[in-house]
């Protein structure tokens, strides 16, 4: 059996097919208002392979000049992020165990060859709340490690409708996406994978 680091939870099939379709519709509406943009690494400016947008009062962004940060507006359009839909607020209430609402929902879109290197989610001023992560569309190979770089890692697949939580002792575990398995889900008509991460950013 796969042993996950303490504080890391994988909840397979947390969302019904209907709930997944409804979420995709919500995400389409968000992307229409806040288009996916190409994030770039701090300093080097190397483009990431995922495409990103956000909803919530704060959104996580990155670019060459200013690096990783949260901000209330879209980096390209300058418009405020659309609000987090009620369905995502309910998922947070059901799973997070945290008594205050999330402020940010990062929307990551992975086309067939996109991936994400091992990293920690540590740009928040508050690590008391878990990161609640929702997978939609094609299956991916997810990797999670310890709270220090170079520690042991374990890999497992995330299917559409799965939830992963990084909380408590696992809040700062390294994690990343090694690959997407094309055509493993019919949820997104053009394929690919959407990942939503709900986060509390500030101290309440
Ligand atoms: C992330 O760490 O921002 C994304 C994780 C995922 O795509 O599952
Ligand atoms: Fe992350």
CB of 54 within 6 A of ligand 1: the answer is no
Q: Which residue's entry shows tokens 């996580």?
A: 60
pLDDT band at 101 (very low <50, low <70, confident <90, very high): very high
Q: Are strands 116-119 and 175-180 parallel, antiparallel or unpaired?
A: antiparallel
Mean pLDDT of all residues in 68-81: 98
pLDDT at 143 over 90: yes
CB-facing half-sphere around the CA of 202: CA atoms within 13 A: 9
CB-facing half-sphere around the CA of 11: CA atoms within 13 A: 16
Summarised one tens digit per residue, pLDDT across range 42-60 is 999 999 999 999 999 999 9
Count of H-run helices and E-run strands, the chain: 2, 12
Residue nearest to atom 2 of ligand 1 (CA): 176
Mean pLDDT of all residues in 71-85: 98
Mean pLDDT of all residues in 65-69: 97
How many Å separate Cα 26 from the centre of its chain?
Answer: 15
The pLDDT score that the predictor gives to residue 127 is: 97
- pTM (two decimals): 0.98
Query: Which tokens hold the place of 63?
Result: 């670019």
Nearest ligand for residue 114 CA: 1
Query: Which tokens hold the place of 189?
Result: 């008509």
How many Å separate Cα 155 from the centre of its chain?
Answer: 17
pLDDT at 83 over 90: yes
Q: Ligand 1: which atom is nearest the Cα of residue 197?
A: 3
Summarised one tens digit per residue, pLDDT across range 15-31 is 999 999 999 999 999 99
> 167 near 202, Cβ under 8 Å?
no
pLDDT band at 169 (very low <50, low <70, confident <90, very high): very high
The pLDDT score that the predictor gives to residue 120 is: 98
Mean pLDDT of all residues in 120-145: 98
The pLDDT score that the predictor gives to residue 49 is: 98
pLDDT at 164 over 90: yes
Say which DSSP state 146 is in.
Answer: -
Structural domains of the chain, with CATH: 8-199 (2.60.120.590)
Euclidean distance between CA atoms 200 and 36, whole angstroms: 22
CB of 197 within 6 A of ligand 1: the answer is yes
Residue nearest to atom 7 of ligand 1 (CA): 195
Spacing, Cα 78 to ligand 2 middle (Å) = 24
Provide the terminal-to-terminal Cα distance of the chain, rounded to the nearest Å: 38
Strand order in the sheet with 140-144: 116-119, 175-180, 140-144, 154-158
Q: Between vectors from CA 200 to CA 138 and to CA 159, what angle results, nearest 5°?
A: 15
pLDDT band at 1 (very low <50, low <70, confident <90, very high): confident
Q: Which residue's entry shows tokens 């309910």?
A: 90
């Amino acid at each position: 059996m796969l042993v996950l680091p303490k504080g890391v939870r994988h909840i397979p099939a947390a969302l019904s097919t209907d709930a997944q379709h409804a979420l995709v519709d919500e995400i389409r509406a968000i992307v229409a208002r806040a288009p996916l943009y190409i994030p770039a690494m701090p300093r080097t400016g190397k483009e990431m392979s995922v495409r990103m947008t956000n909803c919530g009062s704060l959104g996580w962004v990155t670019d060459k000049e200013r690096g990783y940060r949260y901000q209330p507006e879209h980096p390209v359009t300058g418009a405020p992020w659309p609000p987090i839909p009620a369905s995502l607020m309910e998922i947070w209430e059901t799973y997070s165990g945290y008594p205050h609402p999330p402020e940010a929902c990062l929307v990551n879109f992975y086309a067939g060859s996109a991936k994400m290197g091992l990293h920690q989610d540590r740009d928040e001023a508050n690590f008391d709340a878990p990161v609640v992560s929702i997978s939609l569309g094609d299956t991916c190979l997810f990797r999670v490690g310890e709270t220090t770089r170079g520690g042991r890692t374990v890999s497992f697949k995330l299917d559409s409708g799965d939830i992963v939580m990084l909380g408590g002792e696992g809040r700062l575990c390294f994690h990343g996406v090694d690959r997407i398995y094309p055509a493993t889900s019919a949820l997104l008509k053009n394929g690919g994978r959407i990942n939503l991460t709900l986060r509390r950013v500030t101290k309440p």
